[in-house]
């Protein structure tokens, strides 16, 4: 089988693309913003603040968890979610680097 197009890009480029793809939905942005506003929460709390059905919220949480943007721990019958600081730092560093480069450029 031939190489996939992602094989032509670096591991970092592929990781960043996967992170950005995961946060490219407004519901996922809302989940990240909610998690920033609270210390910890359970899935039920997230369902209460979003205008989406519980299975839809669960799917969005799964997508964020699959790329490591959020972490989840099981506590009884609930799953408590929090942001993964390492992945959030990677996103922040990428966009911060672009900002720095743009300050030095003129078009």
- Distance between CA 54 and CA 58 in Å, rounded? 6
pLDDT digits (tens, 9 = 90+) for 44-71: 789 999 999 999 999 999 999 999 999 9
Residue with token string 């089988």: 1
Kindly report the average pLDDT of the chain as a whole number.
89
Q: What is the pTM of this model?
A: 0.85
- Distance between CA 5 and CA 9 in Å, rounded? 8
Domains of the chain in start order, with CATH, are: 9-103 (1.10.10.10)
26-37 vs 54-66: helix axis angle to the nearest 10?
A: 80
């Amino acid at each position: 089988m031939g190489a996939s197009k992602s094989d032509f890009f670096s591991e970092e480029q592929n990781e960043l693309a996967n992170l950005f793809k995961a946060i490219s939905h407004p519901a996922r942005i809302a989940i990240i913003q909610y998690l920033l506003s609270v210390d910890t929460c359970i899935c039920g709390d997230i369902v209460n603040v979003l205008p989406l059905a519980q299975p839809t919220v669960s799917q969005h949480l799964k997508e964020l968890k699959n790329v490591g943007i959020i972490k989840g721990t099981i506590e009884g019958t609930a799953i408590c979610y929090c942001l993964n600081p390492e992945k959030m730092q990677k996103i922040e560093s990428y966009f911060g680097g672009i900002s720095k480069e743009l300050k030095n450029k003129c078009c």
